[in-house]
Amino acid sequence: MTNFINNLYKNQALFYKVFLFILTAVVIVYLLPKGGKFKYEITKGKPWQYENLYAPFDFAILKTDDEIVKEKDQIISNNIPYYSFNEEVVTQIKSEIEPQIKEVFTDSILNRRRAEITTFVDKALEDLYQYGILEEKKRTNPEQLVYLRKGTEAFEINYDRLFSQEEIQAFLTSAISRSNLASIQPELLELFYTIIEPNVIFDAALTQKELDSKLNNISYTRGSIERGTIIISRGEVVEGEKLDILNSLKQEFEAQIWSDSSYNWILFGYSLLVCMALLMLLLFIRKYRRDIYENNVKVSFIFFNILLMVFLTSLVVNFESRYVYIVPLCILPLTLKAFFDSRLGLFSHVITVLILGFIVPNSYEYMFLQIIAGIVTILTVSELYKRANLFISVGQITFIYILVYFAFTIIQEGNIQNLDYEIFLTFILGGLATLFVQPLIYIYEKLFGLVSDMSLLELSDTNTKLLKELSDKAPGTFHHSLNVANLAEAAANEIGANAMLVRVGALYHDIGKMENPTYFSENQSSSVNSHDELSPRESAEIIIGHVIRGIEIAKKNNIPDRVIDFIRTHHGTTTVYFFYMKEKEMNEAVATDDFRYPGPIPFSRETAILMMCDSVEAASKSLKEPTTAKIDSFIEKIISKQMEEAQFLNADITFKEIQLIKKVLKQKLKNIFHLRVEYPE
């Protein structure tokens, strides 16, 4: 039992990776669309390159989206509106006619012309309310048919048979002029204006109900294909009716295959493919990025970003697949490049795009476009901390999206008339969303404890609290660190290493000397040497202790681990040679390990560069009357000794790169000492 627990503890990192792998695969499979995958790729405008295709079962030919939209628009434009006729208004008006006539006309007029007035008013009201008076203003099309509903019955009439309120005056004026009552026209108009009210209103609820009924009865199919019918022959161009039939077969196939009986098999197939893709990524990290593989936080970070992109794409596709390019997928390689390197960023991007091929429509077009965009992202984005570079790169990425989409469209359509300019807008919005990578990187730094070039840029500021403290307490060490930083940055640029990282590492590599600054020669301002009162062993302990103390100070000030690595490794496992030889003069049996730095040795090109530059810069202070030959000789001697002691064994640095670093250091030191070229006499 004890052995089992010990083995479990020793392999906890492996168990975590297995758990992370399974969890990621399960979530991705859950996000995949719930349907089978049609085994043929349908590309509009291209010849059918598969065998002759026969209908595997009976299926209906689906109408295209454009056909359905056109049919809906036609139904909406031809829909006849409903109007309701209010009988109560007419009854109310008729009951008020007699009192209003008495009120408007004088007794003398009524005594002479009552019957004539009453007859005219009844006839005019009958004409006005035969179909009714509208509450609304007249519409632009008077010939339109409408349904007029009276009670439970509805009948069809022309819209112009309904009176608008603006037409009443003209109607009454004309009627009065044709009668014998023209002399009392003002009184008649006053009577009608008093009693007339609109009684026909637009019935929006009934109209919409009728429209919905018609829209719901739309047939989404046109014709059918019987089983065994040849659909398309090899070499035929996929277009027109053939394209519609193929798309119909694809939809029916994917709907039928996702049945209860095949559900588990399809799920198993999806799981295999997703697991295979994630496994390739994990094996790549294990083989080529061992330091990342052994760090569970970094592996979790990579898998989290892949999950995030799959989730966002799935969300957009479920909402509206046309907007799939709004998802800023290029943030993935950008982020991984900022924290790790270009190769890992591109590999992860390709794996993610392969997985997304199961989710998006037109998967080949999508995958081709996104992979090209990812390559452009890796090639164009350098020094992400410079805002101008990011804007330029995002512009280039957006241009590539538009260019590739344009190429696909003219291949499929054969012309540029069918370009969907709304897609261009999604490319631009996706490009703008990519700019969010900078605040996202800051969030990731806080969540996962990672370090990007933007953080390194902040740390390289010599006005930071820690570097100001180093400048005050150990000015000689601070000056030495600046010189080493300049040398290391130049060397890193020469061999293509991370110049910003090595510069920051150089600025902080000796912060441990702040505790006892006078025990280090660069801070001794007088002829008094603090080591004169100590034994060689005690002096060596103080010198070696600046590495341990530097690590403690860095952690206390929240310096990232990537920078602390330079403090750990800048002396590797070399010996404090001066005090070792001094002790050896007094005691032949001295142990070398008592005078050796704790290590570890450099494990990257950047940490190896710092070790070389630190040793060379410190030793250069002891050069008397330096010449070109002396500088070349002592640089060769120092670096050769480090190589003999196997200090660069784990640094992944080549002999050619070391030679280039030597060349840079020689040139820089010659410039520092202002040496001229020695001409022959």
Tell me what pLDDT residue 679 has.
45
Residues 453-672, CATH architecture? Orthogonal Bundle (1.10)
**Neighbouring residues of 423: CB distance < 8 A, sequence distance ≥ 6:** 322, 325, 405
pLDDT at 257: 58
CA atoms of 598 and 551, how far apart (whole Å): 12
Residues 6+ apart with CB under 8 A from 492: 498, 499, 501, 502, 503, 605, 606, 609
pLDDT at 543: 85
CA–CA distance, 681 with 669 (Å, rounded to integer): 24
Domain residues of the chain, as ranges? 2-27+31-36+261-448, 37-63+219-257, 82-202, 453-672
First to last CA, the chain: 83
Please report the pLDDT score of residue 120 as a whole number.
86
Cβ pair 340, 293 in contact under 8 A: no
Let me know: does 162 contact 127? Beta carbons within 8 Å: no
Radius of gyration (C-alpha) of the chain in whole angstroms: 43
Q: What is the mean pLDDT of each run of 10 residues along the chain (681 residues)?
A: 61 86 92 69 74 79 82 87 88 85 78 82 86 80 83 85 86 85 83 86 88 86 80 79 78 64 76 93 90 88 94 89 87 88 91 91 86 87 67 84 84 72 85 84 84 81 88 90 92 89 92 85 71 76 88 90 90 80 73 80 91 88 79 88 89 90 89 60 48
